[in-house]
Structure 1
Amino acid sequence: MAKVKAKDKKGRKITLKTAKNSIRISFDGGRRLDLSKMGITTFPTCILKLADVDELDLSRNMLKKIPSSIEKFQKLRWLDLHSNQLEELPAAIGTLQSLFYLNICNNKLTTKGLPEELKLLKNLCILNLGLNCLDSIPTTLGEMKELQEIGVFDNALTTIPDSVKKLPKLKKLNAKRNPFPDSTKPEEHVDSIKRIETLYIVEEKDLCCQDERDKVNKLKNVISSPSNDPSFSSLLTPNSSAKNNQEEWRLKDK
């Protein structure tokens, strides 16, 4: 296991050597930089020298900010930032045109913290915004025509925009545990569109996440063949108490 150099109460400092030792090869031959669960409080600038990786995992750390330099990761297809302390995303995230998976679940994101440039991710297929502080969903997400799975569970939403409900390829929408008006349950937002499946979230104690190499393998041709309609597994619900040995979360109808 890669060693991490301690850096007093400010968190842990990741060296370039540590980062290089954290690169793994995914099932489809892509290069994955896994810096999850390392107690990082500041985005490690040394990894900009490894910006040619296909996947970047910074989940389950203590990051409060993602810098604009994230734009250097132009080959990224898979970005996992779940379970940090992010309150906003940089506009530069919209430059990651190869991205098809973005997980920013379990942070402190507000609606204002989502940049308009997010809509520029034209190849994004899976977006997880669950367990944040969103009081509304930007209607601009309706411009992301390749979206097939969206997670917005455990926020402060009172409605789902029509522009999102009418996304042409949307198959799964997890909008559970939001304060929708009693007269408008989450199901009523999506039942009129049969292609959308509302998923049921598990109890907090059961939340976990799964190693998604299989999903990456299935999606590896999405960018080159956007017309393909691959079959996805259920939206995952990771959080800071996720199990070390990742496994598929169990869906329960509460």
Structure 2
Amino acid sequence: MVKGGKGPKGRITLKVAKNCIKITFDGKKRLDLSKMGLTTFPKCILRLSDVDELDLSRNLIKRIPESISKFKNLRWLDLHSNYIDKLPASIGQITTLHYLNVSNNKLTSSGLPEELAQLKNIRTLNLGLNHLDSVPNTLGTLKELHEVGLNDNLLNAIPKSISRLPKLKKLNTKRNPLSTEEESNKFLDSIKRLENLYLVEEKDLCGPCLRKCQLAREKINKLKGTASSTSKKVIFSNLVLPNSTAKESQEDWR
């Protein structure tokens, strides 16, 4: 229990919440209520809706109310490590959000509202460590996304629209029941996209960097060859066609 902080059943007062507001290094107001033993979303903090960042992580919260949309200036929302199984549709109204972390909860695919697609400014979205067996294709419309966490879920496939987001730098899909082919294709697609973004001439690279690029390309070509070997016939370019030289020297062949 935080000293003087919580009321009955893991609740806090407005006075305590005000004392939990901190100023970040870039001058933003952060309301930090992490690790407070909260069992419900504290309604009193709706009176502090002018904060820029809200941290409710590592509590015992099961439900986020629709009133979360009152945080009109929110750019950073951390809800990780709670017991949330559904996000409110109104979360899509917080269009200022740059960062949303709901990892390590009880989220199912039906608990992801379509309104997430309205978060046009979001850059980091962490949905890892939940119970998702699919994710909405509409997440592929969030063109500002830099990082997406989908690790430790129940996903059999990742929408291609997500792996092709123009600004995506990190896509974590570890520990999902994805097929090997799916993972290989995702890897190739992401490498191709990055190559297009960072094309340089060999003369502009130092020796170690050039060698690193060459090794990466060899790895790509090897993976491509493995993927295509099952679908293409093997061609032996040095074999002589029948009825040509062999026909002219039949005795030698015998």
TM-score where L is the length of structure 1? 0.73
**What residue in structure 2 maps to residue 3 of structure 1?**
4
Larger radius of gyration: 2
Q: Unaligned stretches of 5+ in structure 2? A: 195-254
**What residue in structure 1 maps to residue 181 of structure 2?**
184
Q: Is the 8 A contact 2:153 2:176 kept in 1?
A: yes
Provide the C-alpha distance between the structure 1 equivalents of 2:94 and 2:3, rounded to a whole number of angstroms.
28
Note if 1:65 corresponds to 2:66: no
**What residue in structure 1 maps to residue 107 of structure 2?**
109
Q: Is the 8 A contact 1:2 1:21 kept in 2?
A: no
**What residue in structure 2 maps to residue 204 of structure 1?**
none
Question: What percent of counterpart residues are identical?
Answer: 60
How many angstroms does 1:85 deviate by?
0.2
Please give the per-residue CA displacement for 1:163-193, whole angstroms capped at 9, x wherever unaligned.
Answer: 1111111111010000112x42534323222
Q: Is the 8 A contact 2:6 2:36 kept in 1?
A: no
Provide the C-alpha distance between the structure 1 equivalents of 2:19 and 2:3, rounded to a whole number of angstroms.
6
Give the structure with the higher percent helix: 2
How many angstroms does 1:5 deviate by?
2.7
Provide the C-alpha distance between the structure 2 equivalents of 1:169 and 1:77, rounded to a whole number of angstroms.
18
Please give the per-residue CA displacement for 1:92-119, whole angstroms capped at 9, x wherever unaligned.
Answer: 0000011000000000001110000000
RMSD between aligned alpha carbons?
Answer: 1.3
Paired residue secondary structure (1:48): helix
Q: Unaligned stretches of 5+ in structure 1? A: 197-254
Q: Is the 8 A contact 2:150 2:172 kept in 1?
A: yes
The residue identity in structure 2 corresponding to 1:85 is Y
Q: Which runs of 4+ in 1 moved over 4 A?
A: none
Counterpart of 2:120 (choices 114, 119, 122) is: 122
**What residue in structure 1 maps to residue 249 of structure 2?**
none
**What residue in structure 2 maps to residue 213 of structure 1?**
none
Provide the C-alpha distance between the structure 2 equivalents of 1:140 and 1:24, rounded to a whole number of angstroms.
35
Q: Is the 8 A contact 1:34 1:57 kept in 2?
A: yes
Aligned length: 192
Provide the C-alpha distance between the structure 2 equivalents of 1:112 and 1:42, rounded to a whole number of angstroms.
21
How many angstroms does 1:6 deviate by?
3.6
Q: Which has the higher contact order (CA 8 A, sep 6+)?
A: 1
Provide the C-alpha distance between the structure 2 equivalents of 1:36 and 1:186, rounded to a whole number of angstroms.
35
Matched ranges for 1:204-219 at <5 A: none
Paired residue secondary structure (2:46): helix
Q: Is the 8 A contact 2:104 2:130 kept in 1?
A: yes
Q: Is the 8 A contact 1:2 1:18 kept in 2?
A: no
Provide the C-alpha distance between the structure 2 equivalents of 1:51 and 1:186, rounded to a whole number of angstroms.
42
